[in-house]
Amino acid sequence: MPAFDDVEEGDELPARELFLEKDQVRAYARAAGQWSPRFTDDEGARREGLPGMITPGNMSMGLLVTLVESWAGPGCVRRLGTTFRGLLLPGRRIRLCGAVTEKNASARTVELDVWIENEDGERPVIGTTTVALR
Amino acid sequence: MPLEFDPAILGQEFDRAVSEPVTAEELIDFARALGETHPRYVEAGPDLVGHPTFCLRYKGNKFYPDSLPKNINVRTGFDAGKDIELGVPVRPGDAVEVRATLHEVYEKTGRTGRMYFVVLRLTLTNQRGEMLAVIDNRFMHR
């Protein structure tokens, strides 16, 4: 886990690349109380005008927190703000990414930009987060 | 049509609900679905806490207040983003109280025309009165 003094503005978090399985999204939808065709079933999602089942925005936020906590340790996230700019489709590879944008010495926190990239290099989810470091 | 509304509707609580006590199994299932493996989130015992985004699953009984401006078509919205400020973690046995207020209403004009944004603020506390999270849910309507 990085110490506050060892972190510099511009540092990038080790990106995490993963194949987002449809079954994982279904498991999330079940555990999160978001069981709905748009998150669980391609045909049901198409009936709602979507290209297929999509990933809940809340799950995107959860994945970004796992990225940040794998870098700075569990319980480090103080705030997370996200914008959902597009659809995050499961059944594809995604990349979870982050970079340090600012340090706050008095609070010993850092600000990060965080985002999810799809296979086309688009960023359907972007955000910022405040992270406490030791 | 420009948004017209009484600013007094902002900040008014329109819903309050208390959940059933959360179980360790619910916390663990949620964390595992995110691919989480840290014992803090996936091993039952006295140290188990909820993943920070577990709070996002809580809602009130009522999605929107009755006082929304009439030109917002509540049937056409989608989730535009969220901001979450985290307090103490959720623990097994917690009964979570959700208080919902209409935090902000505004409009923007983009390439595809006029968009209306509604921001609902959910304040979550546990049975000890500790703040679990403040969540601003941003919905966009055309």
Reported as a pLDDT band with limits 50, 70 and 90, residue B99 is very high
DSSP B21: P
The pLDDT tens digits of the residues spanning A14-62 come to 999 999 999 999 999 999 999 999 999 999 999 999 999 999 999 999 9
CB B118 within 8 A of CB B127: no
Nearest alpha-carbon partner for A123 in B81, B86, B53, B57: B81
Q: For testing the chain B interface, which of A18, A34, A60, A61 should be mutated: the one with the most B CBs within 10 Å? A: A61
For B33, the closest of A31, A75, A82 (CB atoms) is A31
| Residue-level pLDDT at B110 | 84
CATH class of A4-21+55-132: alpha beta
| Residue-level pLDDT at A15 | 98
Which DSSP helix (H) or strand (E) runs through B29? Answer: helix B24-33
Q: For testing the chain A interface, which of B61, B83, B103, B135 should be mutated: the one with the most A CBs within 10 Å? A: B83
Domain formed by B7-21+58-141, architecture? Roll (3.10)
| Residue-level pLDDT at B112 | 83
| CB count in 10 Å sphere of residue A22 | 18
Domain locations in chain B as residue ranges: 7-21+58-141
Nearest alpha-carbon partner for A112 in A95, A133, A129: A129
Q: Which residue has the higher pLDDT, A23 or B70?
A: A23
Amino acid at B13: E
Average pLDDT in the B72-83 region? Answer: 88
Nearest-angstrom CA–CA distance, B132 and B142? 32
For B30, the closest of A18, A32, A74 (CB atoms) is A32
Domain locations in chain A as residue ranges: 4-21+55-132
Average pLDDT in the A65-78 region? Answer: 98
Give the ipTM.
0.96
Tell me: pLDDT of A74 over 80.
yes
| Residue-level pLDDT at A7 | 98
- Please classify residue B56 by burial: count the beta carbons closer than 10 Å to its beta carbon, then call 0-12 exposed, 13-18 middle and 19+ buried: buried
What are the structure tokens assigned to A65, written together? Answer: 């927190």
Tell me: pLDDT of A82 over 80.
yes
